[in-house]
Structures are given as C-alpha cells and as structure tokens.
Amino acid sequence: MNKVILFFYLLVAGCLFSCSEGTVLYSDIVDIENSNWHKDSIAQFSFDVTDTTQPVAVRLRVDNSDEYYWANLYLFSTISFPSGKVIRDTLNLIISDYAGRWTGKGIGDKYENTFVIKNNIIFPEYGRFTFSLQQAMRCEDFNNAISGIHSVGIEILEYK
C-alpha cells in the first residue's frame, strides 16, 4: 500500500514540475497614463529575433481596476516584421465573468489578467519585430478613452 501512495505522490510531483513555463525571451509593460487609455494612444513593444527555429508563445498582460466599466476589452494588435510586412488582428479579452467578478488575479481593486494570444509560433525572419496594442472599445460617450486600465504588457516565452 505504501508503494502505491509513494508512486502516486511521485507521479503528481513529476506532472507539476513538467508543467513549468518556458524561458522568458522578452517581457515589457507599458503604463497607461492616468489609467485613461485614449483610442489614439498605442502601446508599442519592440524586440529582436535572433532564432528563427525556436517555437514561442506570446502572452498579453492587462492590469485593470474596479474603475473599468466593461466586462471585456477589445484591442487592435499589430505585428510589424523587419521586412515591412504587417499583420493586424482584433482581440476580444474577457476580464469579467457573467456575474461581474473580475477574472484576473488581484488584491483590493487591482487585477492582473494574462492571455495567451499566440502559441507555438516561429518568427520567420531575423531582426526587430514590433507589437502594437491599441484599445478598440466603442466609447464615444467617454471622449474615446477608457478608464481603469493601468498597464498592458507583452511576454514572449519559449514554447514547451
């Protein structure tokens, strides 16, 4: 019986250690001035790619507070390649559940949300890439700005 329990604990421990995240290759956060993100304000993240064989994951971080009015956040995401190629996408990030509870980790009224936006991708070129994030909420009643988003960030990790 003891061997079965020991085997079970070793199996669980092995699973936990094998689920570790890959090495962080790039990480940066841009603070939103006065937590008031205007639609014309763009957060940019530039990094150099030196390995075009390494699969990576791209994570997005959004820090919000109770001051944020909506349950989701639409963003325009743009990736600019060293060759000049540009890929643009629209992201719909859910940061509150149907009951109005924030989904991110937090203390008090500050919440940190993490989203995997690309998984198991390989950058096809060497050189400097730029990720740009622009809020895309329809907020004409709020002077085209959203309150309660404190910062946004990008993390690029080795894909495991």
CB 41 within 8 A of CB 144: no
The confidence score (pLDDT) of residue 147 equals 94
Mean of the per-residue pLDDT values of the chain: 88
The confidence score (pLDDT) of residue 16 equals 40
**CATH number of the domain located at residue range(s) 22-158 in this protein:** 2.60.120
For 42-62, the pLDDT digits (tens) are 999 999 999 999 999 999 999
Q: Which of 79, 82, 62 is nearest to 71 (CA)?
A: 62
Distance CA(86)–CA(129), nearest Å, equals: 10
Which residues does residue 27 pair with via DSSP β-bridges, in sequence order? 155
Flag whether pLDDT at 160 surpasses 90.
no
- pLDDT band at residue 108 under the 50/70/90 scheme: confident
For 109-144, the pLDDT digits (tens) are 899 999 999 999 999 999 999 999 999 998 766 688
The confidence score (pLDDT) of residue 109 equals 87
- For the chain, what percentages of helix, strand and coil (3-state, to nearest 5) are there? 15, 55, 30
- 62 Cβ neighbours under 8 A, 6+ residues apart: 73, 93, 95, 104, 112, 113, 115, 149, 151, 152
Alpha-helical (H) ranges within the chain are 2-18
Domain boundaries, the chain: 22-158
- Tokens 């895309």 belong to 136
- pLDDT band at residue 2 under the 50/70/90 scheme: low
